[in-house]
Amino acid sequence: MEKMIQALFNSEAEAFTALQALQQLDLSKDVSLGETYVLTKNEAGETAIRSAKDAAEGTGIVSGGLIGGLIGLLAGPLGFIVGVAGGMFAGSASETLKAEEVSDYLDQVSSNIPKGKSVLIAHLWEDWETPVDTVLKPYTVDIQRFNVQDELFIPAQSELSKTIEAIKVAETKYLEAQGAEKADWNATLANLRTKRERLQRNLDVNADQQEKQYQQWIEHSAVDNDASDEKRAQLAGRLEEQRIRLEQIKQNR
């Protein structure tokens, strides 16, 4: 199942150690790993965003132009669940520097990280939770999972549908209105149409990124004939589910 995982750590070093453990799970095909980022807040309340590539090369903060894929595109209603479910984070948002404004999703995560802590964000596919829990829990027990389809895209699609219905109502009201009231409804219509275009654009671009990610996962999940019968069955099942989901994404565009 496609998920976003957020895990809280006491240090950036622990977060990157946990990230390396996830990468090993990906190599062994226990999960299909997508984008990963580590966000660290210093004692001054400033948040740095680093990728696995940054850690390997010793470079600094990820800039807006370098955040890509699904995580970089999550915005608006697609990021509304961050920091809400379960109260994972307990930091003050008032002293936080936004995460380079690269993504509403990352901004919201950043605003909820306690000072001196780090958060690992991973976009992945897992067949069951045990492998990830096993490698992360030596470093943290603060792990949250979000089902990408049910908790991110369905709410966003619902928001788009509500906006389209609101436009229909506003169009009727505009035709019925007179004078200053007509001007007010015209302004309301303009705002609603702008919102509709933004929501549709976000969904379209996210669908493009999801297609690319699923194609990569499907290639990575190819069944290894040298694997055990149990492993081959697991990978075959994952491949089938990922192919079905990819077709759904294409059909819903």
* Residue 248 CB contacts under 8 Å (≥ 6 apart), including other chains: none
The percentage of residues in the chain with a pLDDT greater than 70, rounded to a whole number, is 77
Predicted local distance difference test score (pLDDT) of residue 193: 96
pLDDT < 70: residue spans in the chain: 52-106
pLDDT at 205: 79
pLDDT at 128 (0 to 100): 93
Domain ranges of the chain: 2-148, 151-251
- The four Cα atoms 85, 78, 134, 117 give a dihedral, to 10 degrees, of -70
pTM over cut 0.85 = no
Q: What is the pLDDT of residues 206-220, one digit of tens each?
A: 788 889 999 999 998
How far is C-alpha 237 from the geometric centre of its chain's CA atoms? 24
Tell me how far apart the alpha carbons of residues 66 and 83 are, in angstroms, rounded to a whole number. Answer: 24
Distance CA 53, CA 196 (A): 36
Residue 46 corresponds to which tokens in the numbers above? Answer: 């400033």
Tokens 């807006």 map to which residue? 64
Report the alpha-carbon distance of residue 62 to residue 103 in Å, rounded.
12
Q: Which amino acid is at 141?
A: V
CA 6 to CA 109: how far, in whole Å? 9
Residues facing residue 198 across a β-bridge: none
Residues 8-60 pLDDT 10s: 999 999 999 999 999 999 999 999 999 888 989 989 888 888 875 544 443 34
Q: Which residue reads 């389809």 in tokens?
A: 149
Give DSSP secondary structure letters for 122-160.
EEEEESSSHHHHHHHTTT-S-EEEEEHIIIIIHHHHHHH
